[in-house]
A and B are shown apart, each in its own frame.
Chain A
Amino acid sequence: MAADDVSRWRGRVGRGPGRPAGGRLARRLAVGIGLAAYCWAAAGAAPFTITALLWVLLAGAVIGGIAFWRPPERIPPPDRLDVTGFSYWAIGVAALFEWEAAAFKDNARWWHPSLTDLINPLIAPHPLKSAAILLWLLAGWALVRR
C-alpha cells in the first residue's frame, strides 16, 4: 500500500547525526570531491556514446538504489493538496509542454526551436555542462528526500 510506504519512511532516522563532527566533515568532503569528479568526467563524455549513457545510468542506479533500498529521512509530504493552488502549477507545466510540443510538431525548425535546442548550446562548455550535471544530481537527491 502506498500509504504504508509513507508511514514506514517518514519515521526513519537518518544515519548522519550520530557521527562525530570530524567524521561528518570528512564524509561531506569526500562526497563533494566525488560529486565534482563525477560531474567533470560525465561532462567530458561525447554525446550519443555508450560512455555518456553509462555515466547517466550510473547516477540513476545510485539515486534509484538509495531511493528504494536505503532511503534517507524523508520530508513528510502534505496530507492533502489544494486543487486550486495546484491548478496554477498544472497550467504552467502544461503551457511548457505545449510550447515544446509545438516545436516538435514543427520539427524544431530554426524559427521555432525546442527547449533542448536552446539549452544545449548554453551547456556546451565543459564547466557549464559539469555544473548542469551537478544541478541534475542535486535535484535527484532532493527528490529522494521527498
Chain B
Amino acid sequence: MATRIITIVGFGCVIIALFALEIIGRRRTNRIPTLGEWLGYLMRGRAGRAVVLLGWLWLGWHYFAR
C-alpha cells in the first residue's frame, strides 16, 4: 500500500512541478519558457510540427481509443 502511495505522490509531484514551471514561465521575470513557447520553437519546421501533432494524436488514441 505504501509503495502505491509513493508512486502516486511521485506522479503528483512531477505534474505539480510542470504546472509550476508554466506559472513561473508566464511571469516573464526569468529565462524559463512557457510550454507553448518551447513547443512552438520545436514546431518551427514541418518535421517538428508533424512529430508534435503525432504525439498529440497518440495521446488521444492511448486514452480514448484503448
Binding site for B on A (CB under 8 A): 1-3, 5-6, 42-43, 45, 47-48, 52-53, 55-56, 59-60, 63-64, 67-68, 75-78, 81-82, 84-86, 88-89, 92-93, 95-96, 99, 103, 110-113, 115-116, 118-120, 123, 129, 132-133, 136, 139-140, 142-144, 146
Contact = CB atoms under 8 A, between A and B. Distances in A.
Main secondary structure of the interface of A (DSSP, over half): helix
Contacts of B62: 116
Contacts, number: 142
Given A85-B31, A89-B21, A89-B32, A132 B7 contact: no
A56 B57 CA distance: 8
A78 B49 CA distance: 15
Main secondary structure of the interface of B (DSSP, over half): helix
Given A77-B37, A89-B35, A2 B44 contact: yes
